[in-house]
Structure 1
Amino acid sequence: MMHLTAFNRAEQGHILTPRLETPFHDRLAALSETNDWYSWAGYKAPHSIFDTELEYFAIRSTSALFDISPMVKYRIRGSDAARYLNRLTVRDVAKLGVGRVHYTAWCDDHGHVLDDGTLFRLATDDFRLCCQERHLPWLLDSAGGFSVEISEETAEIAAVALQGPTAFAVLEAAGFASIETLKPFQLAEFPHADGSVTISRTGFTGDLGYELFAPAKAALSLWDRLWTAGSGFGLKAIGYDALNRARIEAGFIVANADFITAEAALRADRERLPDEIGLDWLVDPQKPYFNGRDAILKARTKGTFKHVLVGLEIEGNIPAEGAIVYHRGKKEVGLVTAAIWSPLAKRNIAIATLSRPYGASVTDNLWVEIYAMRELQYQKLMKRARVVSRPFVKLDRRSAMPPGRF
């Protein structure tokens, strides 16, 4: 009977539904040596392509291509698009010029962060919002009273990140004329095939880098154009594991990894206000009313924040991923959400969420509990940690104008 039930379920197909393939999948699959895939927003995405260590060093030493097509993309258009987005997000959209990008976040009415992402102003009344999670019902529910059209274009738009010191040289060699004029957080349209590609000087590595957006039908020709141009500049395809190392060095956070989004939180104490995850600098209290404003400002006035997200430097060289953080080695005060031994900083670094006042006014005598495998046995290690500023690594080439060819 159990076998029959399993067979019937398989016949229905819902447990055999394959993961979607991105527009770049054929190129990634042809290059993949590790065959190490995971599910990103329902898409098949690589943990690695050939070797995580070497992929990381491609980001920092030459350049790397990372498929970001599964990133959720919303198109928001209409005469009220800017006013709507200013009501939705915590940052002042009126200050975002056409052809510019900014990092932002949005909250529920209690001030808890629903997600963070990047907002691209393609034209006066035309925006693209990119983020980690899907929010179409929330976006639509928030649009009442605004003359605005909202649609998800994740499947229609292919996107790839080109990151690393030779990224500009690759684009220049690929024939993207005047790419050297593109400033950090600026975007522009460039001819490609029978249409165009949108290129922004943005990325998730803290390095010199760009993100390219094109219609899905133009994905393979765009990849081939970059791959051919990059042959003399050490261009490699990479997976998420290498990208994750770079983003930790840059001090960037990931939704539902370093913090739990308000929609995903199952317990009330897991939700976070912007100030509790290091996003206080995004909040513009001087702009018109936005979702969560009153709750955020009330917490600031009364000093009722319960958590803080911090950077840690930990003694030794064993990464502390998932480690518990203690004060004086006894009182549990938080958790490490991301950690690596940084090859670039030559430090053992981590991002951690702590219960205030620890990590805020109390920063002394912090310890992390690491379990290291030693000859088939786990050894408990208590290592000292100190709060340090993020980013852990700051590269001048990220914002240099004009960008270097390296």
Structure 2
Amino acid sequence: MKSHNEMSVTQLDEQLRQTPFHPRQQALNVRDDWTVWNGFKFANSYYDAEYEYFCIRNSCATYDICPMQKYYISGKDAEAMLNRMVTRDVAKLNVDRVTYCCWCTDEGRMIDDGAIFRLGPDSFMLTCGSPCVAWFKKSAFGFSDVTITDMSDNIAALSFQGPTSCEVLKKMGLDGIETLKPFGIMHFPFNGDDSKTLMVSRTGFTGDLGYELWIAPELALDLWDTLYSAGEDYNIHPYGEVATNMARLEAGFIMPGLEFNEALKTVHFQYDHTPFQLSLGWLVDFKKPHFNGRKALLKEKQQGPEYTLIKLDIEGNKSAEEAYLYNNKKCDTHIGYITSTMWSPIVKANIALAMIETKYLKGDIWAEIYYTKELRHHHIVMKCTVVKKPFWTPERAKITPPLKY
């Protein structure tokens, strides 16, 4: 038997799963540029990553989120179980609403972040980037009436983002979609058939106006065709992982594997992170009853986190990827590192997320940047300015009804 390294690209490709939308995406991926997410063949880009990014910002675009993990959690103890597991107070979440959340180990180290959809008084859907069913079942221990069902393969999901996305959904026949508020949920008969349900949430990972569409896998291609037919006059286009990473960074959203390591996957002690280190302290509700990691997180809140994730505007336009941060231009003391960075086309700035030792937050911050120009290696040290708010937060992402285009 051949080892993993000896397998051909074709053999590896055959072992990857395909999402229900893959036939349409395969035809549009002119660069044949793919990556892997949870064992699925997943588009890195289709035509040009920057073009796809501008589709998100100027028109509308789709992103396949089928590989995302989806779990139904139901029963009379479902709310209590989730409240015991996550740091946010689930009891405050109304039916047909969505909330961002995270869950931690008893040491307060973050396992993952995700979204909780409240579908009914005793029924929820929790979505996250990595498989977590084992942790959820452990968290359900001691609760007599709670059922956890992995629905990852039973729900096809498509993220639909951009300023014209609402207009396309209206053209698609989703009456009343313009009344849906951010983090809200609506249900529609698909193509007028009451036996087929399309769930739409006003959620996304781009910081722009956008929605996520949830449907049975056997209806996925019909959904794609209907959506693309309605969006033909609005320059609808698919986008991949590269454009996603650009848009989410402008919005100041964190990404696992870049801003944080999932606590159950790390080997080195404290190479994982806490919500307070990731500037997610607003997700931790100490007013509710006990939850995983409460004692450790309360101690950290009182003492302050050792590191803090911050947003930076870096002078110049050279990429600060994997750059070290220092407290002066001489680079005397190493105080942190860049986690994600890019030249933002819409902000017109060299932006970054960075992890820094909290005690240095009030002082100067300098980035040591290495770059290559015409095969020559160069080294510069550039001043950084801390940015408090997201780099880009358009009003159109918040208002209801959305602007007409």
Measured against the shorter chain, the TM-score band is over 0.9
1:99 to 79, 96, 99: 96
Question: Is 2:398 the partner of 1:396?
Answer: no
Q: 1:133 offset after TM fit, Å?
A: 1.4
Q: In 1, Cα distance between the equivalents of 2:3 and 2:112?
A: 37
Secondary structure of 2:300's aligned partner: helix
Tell me, which stretches of 5 or more residues in structure 1 are unaligned? none
Q: 1:306 to 1:148 in 2, by over 3 A?
A: same
Q: In 1, Cα distance between the equivalents of 2:65 and 2:213?
A: 9
Q: 1:365 offset after TM fit, Å?
A: 2.1
Q: How does 1:58-137 map to 2 (within 5 A)?
A: 58-137=55-134
Q: 1:389 offset after TM fit, Å?
A: 1.4
Secondary structure of 2:141's aligned partner: coil
Asked whether the 8 Å contact 1:250–1:390 carries over to 2, the reply is no
Q: In 1, Cα distance between the equivalents of 2:201 and 2:208?
A: 14
Q: 1:201 to 1:75 in 2, by over 3 A?
A: same
Post-superposition CA distance 1:327-349 (Å, at most 9, x none): 11221111111111111111110
Aligned to 1:222: 223
Q: Residue 109 of structure 2 aligns to which amino acid in structure 1?
A: H
Q: In 1, Cα distance between the equivalents of 2:259 and 2:318?
A: 20
Q: 1:319 offset after TM fit, Å?
A: 2.2
Question: Is 2:152 the partner of 1:150?
Answer: no
Q: How does 1:7-406 map to 2 (within 5 A)?
A: 18-146=15-143, 147-193=145-191, 194-301=195-302, 303-328=303-328, 329-359=331-361, 362=362, 364-406=363-405
Q: 1:16 offset after TM fit, Å?
A: 7.3
Q: In 2, Cα distance between the equivalents of 1:130 and 1:398?
A: 21
Post-superposition CA distance 1:57-111 (Å, at most 9, x none): 0010001111111111111111111111011101110100000000000011111
Secondary structure of 2:366's aligned partner: strand
Post-superposition CA distance 1:337-366 (Å, at most 9, x none): 11111111111100011122123xx3x321
What TM-score, normalized to structure 1?
0.95
Q: Residue 45 of structure 1 aligns to which amino acid in structure 2?
A: F
Q: 1:29 to 1:15 in 2, by over 3 A?
A: closer
Asked whether the 8 Å contact 2:189–2:198 carries over to 1, the reply is yes
Q: 1:344 to 1:6 in 2, by over 3 A?
A: closer
Secondary structure of 2:402's aligned partner: coil
Q: 1:288 offset after TM fit, Å?
A: 1.2
Asked whether the 8 Å contact 1:188–1:198 carries over to 2, the reply is yes
Q: 1:5 offset after TM fit, Å?
A: 6.0
Asked whether the 8 Å contact 1:189–1:197 carries over to 2, the reply is yes
Q: 1:131 offset after TM fit, Å?
A: 0.8
Q: In 2, Cα distance between the equivalents of 1:19 and 1:192?
A: 30
Q: Residue 187 of structure 1 aligns to which amino acid in structure 2?
A: I
Asked whether the 8 Å contact 1:10–1:16 carries over to 2, the reply is no
Secondary structure of 2:385's aligned partner: strand
Post-superposition CA distance 1:273-331 (Å, at most 9, x none): 21110110011100111111111111222x15211000000000122121111111221
Q: In 2, Cα distance between the equivalents of 1:149 and 1:69?
A: 22
Q: In 1, Cα distance between the equivalents of 2:11 and 2:106?
A: 36
Q: 1:386 offset after TM fit, Å?
A: 1.5
Asked whether the 8 Å contact 2:62–2:161 carries over to 1, the reply is yes
Q: Residue 395 of structure 1 aligns to which amino acid in structure 2?
A: P
Q: Residue 335 of structure 1 aligns to which amino acid in structure 2?
A: Y
What TM-score, normalized to structure 2?
0.95
Q: In 2, Cα distance between the equivalents of 1:73 and 1:378?
A: 45
Q: In 1, Cα distance between the equivalents of 2:300 and 2:317?
A: 38
After TM superposition, the runs of 4+ consecutive aligned structure 1 residues lying more than 2 A away are: 4-7, 13-17
